[in-house]
């Protein structure tokens, strides 16, 4: 079971043979890598499944490979997003092809003050070009802008706290150069061009990587690694174009990929959990839930940042547990997912209020 969706394996994957599985999108949600939170957001799973199916079908029309096979109806028959009737309420299960997952080795090193966790990717370096149908252990992140909550602001904050003035200046200048900016950005600011970065996929927390580190642990040949970057930009362009057509601003997102005699887009793309969007100046994504905790339970956010550094299973050791969401806020978050899906896909899959109404009511929780 994952934190927000379950995987039911129908047939296992092998080195040169795709497996088959069903993603069951739940109404659970996760923030700050915590895993399942104490509330459910009604309709969220079906909204995410519908958005992901819509985007996968758009990618395949452009000739890109994905692991998507279709949504699963009640009879088990596969249907496409384009087959869904308006007002039907969507489907929570998506069938996908499966690949093998090779995990890095977790190694612990003790010191006088703490236990340090490191991840050993020797397997991927040793078997580079010799493994097939496997999950590449990276999240490839694309940024078009910097919404409130972007990790870029955390990086700048850490740089500002450096005591060595020369090092502080170099760090800040390096971040601005990477972003293509000349001065410190503000939340909501768009970038001159999309930029990309990498984090780990198979560790307890998402660890930022240099391009060299990402290549080293990917197991890919150099030319295929470079193609991975291009693939992420193509996915970003598709989602950004659809967002612009339907009144959204697309700030950022990510892809994951399988190598199976070529690159295959996998997991889920272009949803309000995987990507950050705004609507008429208001964020519409899982970031709305993150920001509620930052405003109302900052001690939980801080505890997550501290404990996740201790490695797998940190959630059980964390000494601060998340609060439940207020009932009215949870209801509006539910409507945000469903109404937002209707607007983005151009089809009223869900019987939900207009997005303008929902987002206006959500604003009251920020005051």
List, for residues 182-204, the tens digit of each pLDDT value: 999 999 999 999 999 999 999 98
Structural domain boundaries in the chain: 5-150+187-366, 151-186
Q: Please, are residues 219 and 136 in contact by the beta-carbon 8 Å criterion? A: yes
* Backbone CA torsion sign across 187, 192, 193, 197: negative
Three-state SS for 267?
Answer: coil
Residues of the chain with pLDDT under 50: none
345: left (phi over 0), alpha (psi -120 to 50) or beta: alpha
Three-state SS for 47?
Answer: helix
Residue range 5-150+187-366 in CATH 1.20.1300.10: no
Dihedral angle over CA of 214, 196, 176, 208, nearest 10: -40
- The DSSP annotation for 81-118 comes to GGGPPTTS---SEEEEEE-B-PPPEEEEEE-SS-EEEE
Those residues whose C-beta lies under 8 Å from the C-beta of residue 116, and which sit 6 or more positions away, are 108, 109, 110
Predicted confidence at residue 115, as pLDDT, reads 74
Distance CA 224, CA 274 (A): 24
Predicted confidence at residue 365, as pLDDT, reads 85
Distance CA 239, CA 244 (A): 9
Predicted confidence at residue 113, as pLDDT, reads 67
Q: At what angle do helices 327-345 and 355-362 cross, to 10 degrees?
A: 150
Predicted confidence at residue 312, as pLDDT, reads 83
Q: Choose among 268, 283, 289: nearest CA to 340.
A: 283
Read off the tokens for 102.
Answer: 């090779």
Longest CA–CA separation in the chain, Å: 65
Predicted confidence at residue 112, as pLDDT, reads 67
Read off the tokens for 72.
Answer: 């699963």
Predicted confidence at residue 1, as pLDDT, reads 52
């Amino acid at each position: 079971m994952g934190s927000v969706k379950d995987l039911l394996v129908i047939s296992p994957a092998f080195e040169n043979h795709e497996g088959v599985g069903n993603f069951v999108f739940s109404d659970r949600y996760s923030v700050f890598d915590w895993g399942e939170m104490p509330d459910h957001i009604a309709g969220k799973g079906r909204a995410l499944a519908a958005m992901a199916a819509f985007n996968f079908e758009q990618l395949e029309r452009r000739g890109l490979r994905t692991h998507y096979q279709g949504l699963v109806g009640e009879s088990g028959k596969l249907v496409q997003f384009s087959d869904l009737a308006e007002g039907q309420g969507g489907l929570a299960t998506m069938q996908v092809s499966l690949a093998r997952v090779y995990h890095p080795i977790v190694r612990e090193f003790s010191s006088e003050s703490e236990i340090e966790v490191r991840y050993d990717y020797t397997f991927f370096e040793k078997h580079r070009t010799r493994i097939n149908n496997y999950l590449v252990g990276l999240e490839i992140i694309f940024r078009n802008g910097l919404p409130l909550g972007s990790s870029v602001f955390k990086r700048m904050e850490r740089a500002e706290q450096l005591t060595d003035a020369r090092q502080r200046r170099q760090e800040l200048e390096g971040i601005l150069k990477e972003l293509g900016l000349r001065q410190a950005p503000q939340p909501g600011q768009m970038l001159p061009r999309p930029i990309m970065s990498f984090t780990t996929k198979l560790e307890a927390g998402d660890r930022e990587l240099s391009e060299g580190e990402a290549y080293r642990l990917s197991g890919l040949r150099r030319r295929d690694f470079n193609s991975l970057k291009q693939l992420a930009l193509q996915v970003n362009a598709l989602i950004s174009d659809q967002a612009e057509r339907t009144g959204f601003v697309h700030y950022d997102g990510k892809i994951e990929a399988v190598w199976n005699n070529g690159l295959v887009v996998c997991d889920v793309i272009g949803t309000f959990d995987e990507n950050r969007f705004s609507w008429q100046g208001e964020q519409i994504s899982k970031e709305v839930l993150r920001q509620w905790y930052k405003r109302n339970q900052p001690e939980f956010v801080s505890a997550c940042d501290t404990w996740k550094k201790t490695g797998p299973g940190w959630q059980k050791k964390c000494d601060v547990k998340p609060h439940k969401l207020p009932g009215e806020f949870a209801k509006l978050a539910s409507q945000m997912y469903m109404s937002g899906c209707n607007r983005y896909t151009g089809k009223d899959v869900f019987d939900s209020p207009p997005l303008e109404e929902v987002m206006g009511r959500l604003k009251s929780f920020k005051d």
